[in-house]
Amino acid sequence: MMELVLTVTAVALALAAAGAIIRIARGPSLLDRVLAADVLLAILGAALCIDMAVNRHLNNLMLVVAVSVIGFIGSVTVARFVADRREQPNEP
């Protein structure tokens, strides 16, 4: 039963990662690409958490925290950059 659950989650994460990579490659705007990269980091964190749960260890905990912080800081930075660009008036 555990192998079935692990297989289903691996397939779901692989499909989600493939979708995120396609969005990074094709994304029409910078925000689409950044959001897809953030989703890809979340998928990586989920895969690491599943590995820790299946193998009953905490070896990857610091890596999960680092990936989460990098994703959060990157998303906030891009959001602030886009917000600053929209506030400036268009000059002729």
Is pLDDT above 90 for 84? no
Is pLDDT above 80 for 87? no
Closest among 13, 20, 22 to 35, alpha carbons compared: 20
Provide the phi-psi class of 6: left if phi over 0, else alpha when psi is between -120 and 50, else beta: alpha
Closest among 6, 39, 5 to 22, alpha carbons compared: 39
pTM equals 0.86
* pLDDT tens by residue, 10-63: 999 999 999 999 999 998 988 899 899 999 999 999 999 999 999 999 999 999
CB 38 within 8 A of CB 5: no
pLDDT of 92: 61
Cα 87 from Cα 8, distance rounded (Å): 45
Cα 21 from Cα 15, distance rounded (Å): 10
